């Protein structure tokens, strides 16, 4: 890995049976960066994320995360201690309280006594603004709170890298903006590297320091860089349409009203 990269993907091929999803994908993510993966439906965003966190193994190529080959079984457990994952559904266990959900990875991997685990859990809940909701079941809190609880659990080990799958999906605009604020605060205060899968333009322009855009037909990356620059200057019409879709819709609405 290069000195400034905490993730390095080299010539990744993702394939299930005869169905090739990604072909010869290469990129790196720098330490402390907010890096966003985007693209249209079926382009391989979720597949790429699954390979980055080790849920799937490369058909070909290599994925290095936090200095380890993600496909190496001997170092995978160590890698898990250095990353956190927020799944799109938050993946909370419904029969357990918010605090118990956050405590799960700490109890599994730390070996700390329960007294210290409880203290660590309360610190994480405080970090995401849920210090007064630890005793609630997931069914008793809002969608935005579930995202915060999932984020607290992902932060259980103060991870070097945080992976977030559609963190604002299904949320109203105000709650979505609050989640964006929380992500920015964590990145700024903890220097946590963020890898985010999202299609929300407001979040992309607010959060991303750099993006890659995947394409279903080419099975690879068709754009990489600053989203505002790509919106205004990309020579790829598909990329420009993606970033300008809200602006185009607004223009059409204005035209129709005249």
Tell me which of 247 and 99 has the higher pLDDT.
Answer: 99
User: For 70-85, how does the pLDDT look when each residue is reduced to its tens digit (9 = 90+)?
Assistant: 999 999 988 988 999 9
Considering the domain boundaries, does residue 8 fall inside one? yes
Range of the domain at 251: 1-31+42-80+200-258
Considering the domain boundaries, does residue 166 fall inside one? no
Mean pLDDT of 98-127: 87
Residue 39 φ/ψ region, left for φ over 0, alpha for ψ in the -120 to 50 degree band, beta for the rest? left
Tally of structural domains, the chain: 1
Q: In this predicted structure, what is the pLDDT of residue 16?
A: 94
Instruction: Kindly indicate the confidence band of residue 208, based on its pLDDT and cuts at 50, 70 and 90.
Output: very high
Instruction: Kindly indicate the confidence band of residue 258, based on its pLDDT and cuts at 50, 70 and 90.
Output: very low
Instruction: Kindly indicate the confidence band of residue 4, based on its pLDDT and cuts at 50, 70 and 90.
Output: confident
Considering the domain boundaries, does residue 110 fall inside one? no
Tokens of 53: 């966190």
CA dist., res. 212 & res. 220, Å (int): 10
Tell me which of 222 and 120 has the higher pLDDT.
Answer: 222
- Alpha helices by DSSP H, 39-193: 45-52, 73-80, 98-109, 114-127, 143-154, 173-190
Mean pLDDT of 196-211: 95
**Average pLDDT for the chain:** 91
Mean pLDDT of 143-167: 93
Mean pLDDT of 125-143: 94
Considering the domain boundaries, does residue 147 fall inside one? no
Considering the domain boundaries, does residue 185 fall inside one? no
Considering the domain boundaries, does residue 213 fall inside one? yes
Considering the domain boundaries, does residue 143 fall inside one? no
Whether the pLDDT of residue 3 is over 70: the answer is no
Whether the pLDDT of residue 209 is over 60: the answer is yes
Whether the pLDDT of residue 1 is over 50: the answer is yes
Tell me which of 61 and 258 has the higher pLDDT.
Answer: 61
CATH number of 16's domain: 3.40.50.300
CA dist., res. 120 & res. 106, Å (int): 8
Q: In this predicted structure, what is the pLDDT of residue 241?
A: 93
Q: In this predicted structure, what is the pLDDT of residue 2?
A: 56
Whether the pLDDT of residue 13 is over 80: the answer is yes
CA dist., res. 14 & res. 11, Å (int): 10
CA dist., res. 63 & res. 33, Å (int): 18
């Amino acid at each position: 890995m290069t000195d400034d990269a905490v993730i390095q993907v080299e010539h990744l091929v993702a394939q299930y049976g005869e169905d090739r999803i990604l072909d010869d994908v290469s990129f790196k993510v720098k330490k402390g960066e907010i890096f966003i993966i985007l693209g249209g439906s079926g382009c391989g965003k979720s597949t790429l994320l699954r390979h980055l966190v080790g849920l799937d193994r490369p058909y070909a190529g290599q994925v290095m995360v936090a200095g380890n080959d993600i496909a190496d079984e001997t170092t995978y457990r160590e890698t898990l201690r250095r990353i956190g994952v927020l799944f799109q559904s938050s993946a909370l266990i419904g029969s357990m309280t918010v605090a118990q959900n956050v405590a799960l990875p700490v109890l599994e991997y730390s070996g700390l006594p329960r007294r210290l685990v409880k203290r660590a859990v309360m610190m994480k809940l405080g970090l995401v603004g849920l210090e007064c909701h630890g005793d609630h079941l997931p069914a008793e809190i809002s969608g935005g709170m579930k995202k915060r609880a999932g984020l607290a659990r992902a932060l259980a080990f103060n991870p070097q890298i945080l992976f977030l799958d559609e963190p604002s999906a299904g949320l109203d605009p105000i709650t979505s903006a609050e989640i964006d604020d929380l992500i920015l605060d964590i990145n700024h205060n903890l220097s946590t590297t963020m890898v985010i899968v999202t299609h929300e333009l407001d979040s992309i322009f607010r959060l991303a320091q750099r993006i890659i855009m995947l394409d279903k037909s080419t099975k690879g990356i068709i754009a990489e860089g600053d989203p505002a620059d790509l919106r205004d200057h990309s020579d790829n019409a598909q990329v420009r349409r993606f970033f300008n879709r809200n602006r185009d819709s607004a223009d059409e609405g204005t035209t129709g009203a005249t």
